[in-house]
Every structure is written in C-alpha cells, then in structure tokens.
Structure 1
Amino acid sequence: MSATISIKRLLILDDDPDYRRLLLLGLRRHFGAATLDEYDPRHHGIPAPGFDWSIYDVLLLDYNLGIEGVTGLDVLERFAGTEDFPAVVMLTGAGNEEISVRAMKAGVHDYLRKQTLKLDTMETLAEAIVDACARRRMQQVRDNALEAARQVAKIEARKIYSEYMAKYKAAQRKEEARMTAEREKLKAQLEKHLKLLTVIEKSKREAEAARQQAEKDLERLEAQMREVKATLDSNALKLLQQQRQAAELRLERTQNEVKQADQEHKAVEDELAKSRWKLEQQADIQKQQEDDLEIIMDSPEDDAKAKAKSKKSSRGAVDDLFDEIASQLRDKGQG
C-alpha cells in the first residue's frame, strides 16, 4: 500500500524518546525514501504559532505529551485550522472511548493504541499513515475544486449581476420618465379641477344669494297681498298674485341652480380625491422601486422607522403639491 501513495516527509510528535526511536526504526522499513523527523514536546514545548506544518504529509501525534495540562488534542485543536496542515494519526498509551470520539471530531484521520504497535507489527501503522495521507490529499483536491468553483461562481455572478443591473437601471429610467410624465399630467388635472372648483363655488355663492333674494321678494309680496286683501282691491290682488307666482318660479329656479352647483362641486371634489390618490400611489410605487434598488445594491435600510419616515415623506410631498396648487388658485381668485 505504501507504494501507491508517496510519503515525502513525516513528523513524530511524542514525549517518549524510546518510542520515537522504535517508530523511526519501524517506519523506515515502509517509507525508506521519506524524511522522518521527530519532535520532543518536553524539550521544545508546544510548537510555536509560526511552525511550518506544510512540509509534512503526515503527523504522528501522541495524546499524552508529558506537559501538564496539555494533550495532543490541545495541539491539534490549536493548529488544525492552519493552511496545509498535514494528515494526523493519533497514538496513545491510555486511550478511552471519549478520547477517541474527541480525536475524530478534532480532525484526526486515525487513532491507534501504542500497545498494539510493535517493531514486527508496524504494517498496521504504515497502512494508517498511507490511508490518512490519501484522505487528506483527497480532501485538499475537493477543497481546491470547491474554491475554484466558488471563484468561477463569483465571476459568473458578477457578470450576471452587472447585466441584470444594466437592464434594471434602463427599465428604471424608462419607468421614471413615464412616472414623471404621469405626475405632470396629474398636476395639470389638479390645477384644472381646482380652477373649476373655484368657478363652481363662485356660482354656488351667486345662486345662494339669488335664492335668498327670491325668498325675501316672496315674503314681501305675501305681506303686500295681505294688505291688499284687507282693502278688497281685486285688481291689485291679481297683480300681486302674478308677481308672487313669478317670485316662486325664480325661487324654484335658484334652488335648482344651488342643487346643481352642489352636485358639480361634489363631482369635482371626487375627481380631486382620485387625482390625489393617484399621486400618492405613484409616490409609494416610486419609493418601493428606490427601496428595491437599495436592496439590490446591498445597502438596504433595515430600520423600520426609517422606512416609515421615508414613506411618510413621500406622501407629504403629494400633500405639499396639492396645497401649493390650492394656495396659488386662492391667491388668483382673491386677486
């Protein structure tokens, strides 16, 4: 098996010098062309943060390092995230199920007891080393492939994103132009309706004044009729009755004019309300498009209060426009 996987360099990290010599002697029979290094944690301490792990294919790591409060798992957990960290085979003289589980979770590729390893039975360790190295290299191949795929995906994503943004902005410019034209049209309609409303209100005031005058004329004629009846002047009474009928007709006509003015006033107010609602809807749509663009550009406003305030300001702009037109028309009417 050792011939199928090339082991160029191997590190033995163990506190027992006799056991290190045993491993060196046994492993040279299986990996004669490989460089076998040993590291004594009692003498050198824990490897420094800058230790170059990348030069090794496999690390034989003892669990009990002979350092108080520090085990091989501590070393592994500290350095396993290092780039190009080698495959790990853990060796222990006093292992248990819990240590085995922790070792596998920490990234150990294999876990062997020292008692089972003798000079004439190093085949098991050699197989474990080859298998660990093979799995580590396969993992590196997968990692490299995934990283390459991620880079390709990023490039493609940026390309798709750029194309999408170009189309989105073009569509947005077109929509903004359409909405601007629609807004100007609605503004013109508002001005027209407000002018019409001013005319109707003036006509309504005139009709109401005519109605009140007709009522006064009718009351005056009725008073005169009562006076004529008292004098028994038939000709004068007939004339007053004719005048009364004419006054009643004027009153009826002015009442109809007032009623018609009220109806026209209500119709124009409905049109004003509709135009104002359209402006508000347009402002909401434009604000939603702006929010969508912010999300796409990766700069969304996450604060709900900020969004509410922004929406309120859009509606406020419509109110301001409506009030400004009304104020201008009132000024013209007074002038």
Structure 2
Amino acid sequence: MTITKTLTAALLASVAFVGQAAAACEITLRSSDTHPDGYPTVEAVKHMGALLQDRSDGRICIEVFHSAQLGEERDTIEQTRFGVIDLNRVSMGPFNNLVEQTKVVSLPFIFRSVDHMHRVMDGPIGDEILAAFEPHDLIGLAYFDGGSRSFYNSQRPIESFEDMAGLKIRVMQSDIFVDMMTAMGASATPLPYGEVYSSIQTGVIDGAENNWPSFESSGHYEVAGYYTLNEHLIVPEVLVMSKQSWDGLSADDQALVRQAARDSVPVMREMWAAREKASEDQVRAAGVQIITDIDKTPFIEAMVPVYEKHVTSDELRDLVMRIQATE
C-alpha cells in the first residue's frame, strides 16, 4: 500500500525493520494492536497474515505492530481512517462516538454470556454493525473476543454494589463507560490503557476493569489485589481496515482479505480460551483475592438510566431488542 505523507516518524522507523518475507511481498499491510506480542488478538492477525500470504501466492503480507508501537487505540483509529495504518484491532469503546451502532454492543449486561455474544455477532446483527463502519472510512472485517470484563482495585474487595461507592476506576475513553461507573457510585477516570499500571501504583486511580488476560498480561494484578467477577461487560473487539487501503486492492484481493479475517476468528477464540485459563491460574497463584459470589441484580438495575441516555433512536432501540431476543 502507498505510504501517505502524513505517516508518523514512529511508523517510518518501524517499517525499516520489516522482515525479508514481508519485504518480498507486493503488498504489505501494517496492522496495529495495543496488546503485547503473544496475546490472542495479536496472534490471530498473524494467523490471518499467514493465510493471506499463502492464498495470494506470497503477494500479500501483514506486518503486525503490537504493544501500542503505533500508538494507543484512539490515536490509531484516526491513523487508520486516514490510511496511515492499514489494519487495526480495536476495542469497541473508542468507536462509540464515531459509529453509533457500537454503543449498543458496549452497553453493560447487553449480552447474557460469551456464547450469547458469539451468536449475536456471528449472525446478521454482527454483519449489520460491521457495515456501519464504512461511512467512517473504515471497513469492518471481523470480531475478536474481549472476554468478560470485571472490576479490580487496590483498596478493598468489591462484594456488593455498595462497595463501588467512591472508588476511582479507570475506564476506556467512552461516554457509556463513564456513565456506567457514575450509575454504580464510582468515579470514572478515562485513561489510555498504557497508563493504568502506574496510575494504580501511585494512587491516581484505585483500579480498573478488564478481562483475565488483560489483567494478567498488563501486570495490573501486581498493584491491584482484589478482582471481582461481576462480568458487567462482554464487549467484542473489532478488526477494521482503512477504506483507503481497501479501495487500493482489487476485488479479488478484497475477498481474500475478508475471508482470511473471518478464518482467523475460530483460531483466536481457541487461543483466547486457553489464555483465559492460563491468566486466571497465574493471577490466583499470585495471591490476588478473587470475589466470585456477588449479586449482579443491583448492578443490572442501576443501568436503566445508562440505556435511556445512550439508546436514543428507534434504530438503536430496535438493535437492543433484537440482541436481547437472540437465543
């Protein structure tokens, strides 16, 4: 793909290290992820790249830049829209103010379980939401798992809804997540993911919320000794492509990219399940206090005003109803 004049110095420096295999390709797609090397989403995009290279007879490669090498998620979204980054694995939260349909799948307790989320996102509702990215100069390709997100903090075990009161909790930069924390009586602090560890360590925040692999791989369990499995969010993550990069491909190559992305999903889910178990084992072994017996009902009931505020159109209300009706 053509590198635009707005390409950042960091990206140019990174491209200099492209391996011989990628350098031999006619098309090298640069892919961003904030997670570290070895994380399931990172490995899934590598797998997608292997599929693409094989199916294109070596013409198309993917170079994966993990560990936020190209920036935090909000920054990389803009770079992807402008064609500086070709592919990007991003959480749904940072898209909420751009692609309004992503608000619905970011709502607390919208999914009853991970299996329910898979059934919704693997079907026509998921395809509908992917299509909603295109007017914003992005092509939605596939969904990856983000697991179920729960609260962790350094101050006290959260054993009831009342225990949330006054805690300073980091959330992704999304109005929905800020309002969710407010409805729970906590103080929401939007921060980039990379700042969470030091912010807990120094007392800027008391904790955050995330899944087992992120809690473990980030090292947050080292500074936050209480983890409560309330599973307030089960939010899929999305793999998007720059529309500018997409439009530079032939129709046949577009089909190859889309199919390789979809074929990476079951591989990602298998790796995710194994990684979740390994991360949980490591966190428990480190002595983190895990709270599993918690009544979710007060948390769910507190979300009524959050839904009322953010589900503001007939289209979004219909989307909520269809998701809830999916068996």
Name the TM-score class by shorter chain: under 0.3
| Bigger radius of gyration among the two | 1
More relative contact order, 1 or 2 (CA 8 Å, 6+ apart): 2
Structure with the bigger percentage of helix: 1
Q: TM-score, normalised by structure 2?
A: 0.18
Q: TM-score, normalised by structure 1?
A: 0.18
Structure with the bigger percentage of strand: 2
